[in-house]
Each structure stands twice: as structure tokens, then as C-alpha cells.
């Protein structure tokens, strides 16, 4: 019989495992911590996880709805509780997973709006500086996000030594400590050539004041002070560029990743190759881009074929 596992202790143990063993990102850890804090507040920090049933989990979701949370937010909280119980089950701390008996809220199938090839080309091929503060850096990060389809967390984690210019590939460290090589083209190559000398100047200037840690000097993408750029900063930069160049204001780094997969599929790329470059564990995740591509084809058909309407 599983020993009694109090909610607060269980959550702390789960979060430690996610950080130390799964190497979860800071963003992921914050999301789990936030969701499970909500759960603890509802059931009580001293509650015995093994004695909770699916009705209690449903009551928790009902409370979230009463507080005005959206279906996607409630679904995310439920997923966090399920993950907690899966961990406790593997550790032999509970005998069952009550959250597995609770149905996930039905979510509307909303496909993200992806900028067209022409729209992104107009941004990246524009001779006008993307920003005055650090235009070389901003152009490179846009080229990497769209040209390589990498996640924003992967972008900020790239080090100088991860670039293999002679082979035109970059070593990417993805989720769960998984690594993959992603090719890059002339756009990234040109952006690197313009950026690296400016980056070196900023790193040297910071180091001369003895304020830059040695670990920061290895970062490829740095801020104006020469330190590694954060994911939040990348998001702000991408949004500012999108607005300045006439793209929708809801464009963010992951939009460029979607665009990478969708545009490659539209141009005839193999789905398995796209899966490898994006670092998707399951092909079903990559197949989402098939839906995006079909949506684009239907829009073109409706707008251009004389017998479409």
C-alpha cells in the first residue's frame, strides 16, 4: 500500500524531478508551479493525494470555471495534475490516478494564423534596419527563428561553439536534453557574418569592465550589454518588428516556427524531414502543419478560382 503523500510535499517533489531529471525549461516549471498551486489551494496543502478521487478533481475544475478561467487554461491545469499523479504513481506513492478519469474540456480547433511566404520575405529582405539598438542581432534572431524553425528557448540557448559554418548546421539543444542538428541557409549565413563582429565588440566592452560572467561570453544571441538574451526579450523584439513591418500584432516567436513548418510543407518538403528539423517527438505533432497548409490552399482557391463561389 502506498504511503500517505501530502499535496504540498508531492508537488515540491514533482517540481524538483522536472527540474533536475527532465531539465524542464523555466517557463514550463513556472506553468506547472502555478497550476499545482491552484490545486493545492483547493484540496489543502495537507491533503492526502492518495485519497483524492476523480469527483474531487472535477470539483477543482468547476471552481476554476467559476473563477472565469478559459477552457484552454482549465485543460492545462488538468494536464498538470495528471502529470503530478503519473509521477507519484511511478514512485509508488499513490495507487491510482484520479485525474485520468476526468475528461479534458473540449477545445475549439483554432489554427494559428501564419504569415505568408511573401509577408516574411518582405520583412527579412527589407534593407531598412529592423531596430536602431542592435539591428544586426535582431535580423539574425529573425532569420534563425524562421530559417531554422527553432523554439525561442532553443534560440537563446545557442552558443558560439554550436555553429558549424563549414557544414551549414547548428547544434540545437531541445526539450528533455535532446540534441539535433538543424541546417541553415544563406539568410542566416549573411546575418551571422554581419552580427558576429558587432557581438564581439559588445562582449569585449563588457568584459573590459569585469562585469560579464565567463558563461555569458559563450552565448550567441546577446543583449546590448553583452549578456545572453532572455526569451521574454526575444518575444518583445519579434512583436515590435512585426508591428513595424505591417504584420499582425499577435505575431510571436512561435509564429515563425509555425511559418517554417507550413511553408516547407507548401513547397513540397517531406513531413518526416520537417519533423526532424522541428525536433518533434511524434509525427502527429508535425501533421498539424498539414492542416495549416490545407487551410492556406483553400483560402487561395476561394479567393482566385472563378467557380469557387
199 is catalytic: no
pLDDT at 212: 46
pLDDT at 223 over 60: yes
pLDDT at 227: 85
The residue from 137, 151, 199, 296 that is catalytic is 151
Asked if 249 and 140 sit in the same domain, the reply is yes
Q: Which residue has the higher pLDDT, 179 or 131?
A: 179
Among left, alpha and beta (phi > 0; psi -120 to 50; other), residue 126 is: beta
Asked if 179 and 268 sit in the same domain, the reply is yes
- Answer with the one of 53, 75, 101 that is the final residue of a domain: 101
254 is catalytic: yes
The residue from 175, 180, 288, 295 that is catalytic is 175
Among 22-36, 180-194, 198-212, the range scoring the smallest mean pLDDT is 198-212
In a domain, 199, yes or no: yes
Asked if 160 and 255 sit in the same domain, the reply is yes
**pLDDT by residue (tens digit) across 132-157?**
788 999 999 999 999 999 999 999 99
What's 189's domain CATH number?
A: 1.10.443.10
Distances (CA, A) of 204 to 113, 212, 214, 215, 268: 41, 9, 11, 14, 44
175 is catalytic: yes
280 is catalytic: yes
pLDDT at 75: 92
Asked if 154 and 235 sit in the same domain, the reply is yes
Asked if 67 and 124 sit in the same domain, the reply is no
**pLDDT by residue (tens digit) across 237-290?**
999 888 888 888 889 999 999 899 888 888 888 888 888 888 887 877 777 766
- Answer with the one of 59, 74, 101 that is the final residue of a domain: 101
Q: Which residue has the higher pLDDT, 177 or 94?
A: 94
Taking the C-alpha atoms of residue 302 and residue 211, their distance in angstroms, rounded to an integer, is 58
The residue from 139, 202, 245, 257 that is catalytic is 257
In a domain, 109, yes or no: no
Asked if 199 and 160 sit in the same domain, the reply is yes
**One-letter-per-residue 3-state SS of 212-254:** CCHHHHHECCECCCCCECCHHHHHHHHHHHHHHCCCCCCCCHH
**Three cell numbers, residue 29:** 516549471
pLDDT at 48 over 60: yes
pLDDT at 190: 93
Average pLDDT over residues 202-207: 76
The residue from 202, 228, 280, 296 that is catalytic is 280
The total number of structural domains that make up the chain: 2
Most confidently modeled of 33-42, 106-115, 211-220, 262-271?
33-42
146 is catalytic: no
Average pLDDT over residues 81-109: 88
Burial 148-177, CB ≥16 within 10 A → b, else e? bbbbbbbbbbbbeebbeeeeebbebbbbee
pLDDT at 88 over 80: yes
**Three cell numbers, residue 116:** 505568408
The residue from 173, 180, 254, 288 that is catalytic is 254
Among 83-92, 146-155, 202-211, the range scoring the smallest mean pLDDT is 202-211
Asked if 72 and 124 sit in the same domain, the reply is no
The residue from 87, 146, 195, 289 that is catalytic is 289
Grid coordinates 494536464 are at which residue? 79
Q: Are 221 and 145 contacting, i.e. CB atoms less than 8 angstroms apart?
A: no
Burial 232-247, CB ≥16 within 10 A → b, else e? eebeebbbebbeebeb
In a domain, 108, yes or no: no
Task: Give the domain extent around 86.
Answer: 7-101
Asked if 82 and 178 sit in the same domain, the reply is no
Helix axes 7-20, 71-90, angle to 10 degrees: 90
Among 19-23, 68-72, 153-157, 195-199, the range scoring the smallest mean pLDDT is 19-23
pTM of the model: 0.65
pLDDT at 299 over 90: no
Question: Which residue in 158, 227, 144, 260 sits closest to 192, CA to CA?
Answer: 144
pLDDT at 117 over 90: no
Amino acid at each position: 500500500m502506498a504511503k500517505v503523500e501530502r499535496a504540498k510535499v508531492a508537488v515540491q517533489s514533482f517540481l524538483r524531478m522536472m527540474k533536475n531529471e527532465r531539465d524542464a525549461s523555466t517557463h514550463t516549471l513556472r506553468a506547472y508551479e502555478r497550476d499545482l498551486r491552484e490545486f493545492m489551494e483547493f484540496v489543502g496543502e495537507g491533503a492526502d493525494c492518495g485519497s483524492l478521487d476523480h469527483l474531487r478533481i472535477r470539483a477543482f475544475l468547476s471552481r476554476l470555471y467559476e473563477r472565469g478561467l478559459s477552457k484552454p487554461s482549465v485543460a492545462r491545469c488538468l494536464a498538470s495534475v495528471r502529470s503530478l499523479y503519473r509521477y507519484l504513481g511511478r514512485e509508488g506513492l499513490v495507487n491510482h490516478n484520479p485525474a485520468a478519469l476526468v475528461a479534458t474540456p473540449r477545445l475549439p480547433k483554432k489554427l494559428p494564423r501564419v504569415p505568408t511566404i511573401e509577408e516574411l520575405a518582405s520583412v527579412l529582405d527589407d534593407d531598412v534596419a529592423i531596430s536602431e539598438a542592435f539591428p544586426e542581432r535582431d535580423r539574425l534572431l529573425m532569420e534563425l527563428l524562421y530559417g531554422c524553425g527553432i523554439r525561442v528557448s532553443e534560440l537563446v540557448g545557442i552558443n558560439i561553439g554550436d555553429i558549424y559554418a563549414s557544414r551549414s548546421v547548428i547544434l540545437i539543444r531541445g526539450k528533455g536534453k535532446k540534441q539535433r542538428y538543424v541546417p541553415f541557409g544563406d539568410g542566416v549565413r549573411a546575418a551571422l557574418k554581419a552580427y558576429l563582429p558587432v557581438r564581439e565588440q559588445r562582449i569585449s566592452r563588457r568584459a573590459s569592465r569585469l562585469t560579464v560572467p565567463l558563461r555569458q561570453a559563450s552565448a550567441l544571441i546577446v543583449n546590448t550589454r553583452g549578456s545572453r538574451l532572455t526569451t521574454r526579450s526575444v518575444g518583445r523584439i519579434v512583436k515590435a518588428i512585426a508591428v513595424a513591418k505591417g504584420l499582425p500584432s499577435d505575431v510571436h516567436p512561435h509564429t515563425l516556427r509555425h511559418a517554417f513548418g507550413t511553408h516547407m510543407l507548401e513547397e513540397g518538403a517531406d513531413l518526416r524531414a520537417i519533423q526532424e528539423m522541428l525536433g518533434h517527438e511524434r509525427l502527429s505533432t508535425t501533421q498539424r502543419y498539414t492542416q495549416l497548409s490545407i487551410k492556406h490552399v483553400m483560402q487561395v482557391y476561394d479567393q482566385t478560382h472563378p467557380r469557387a463561389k
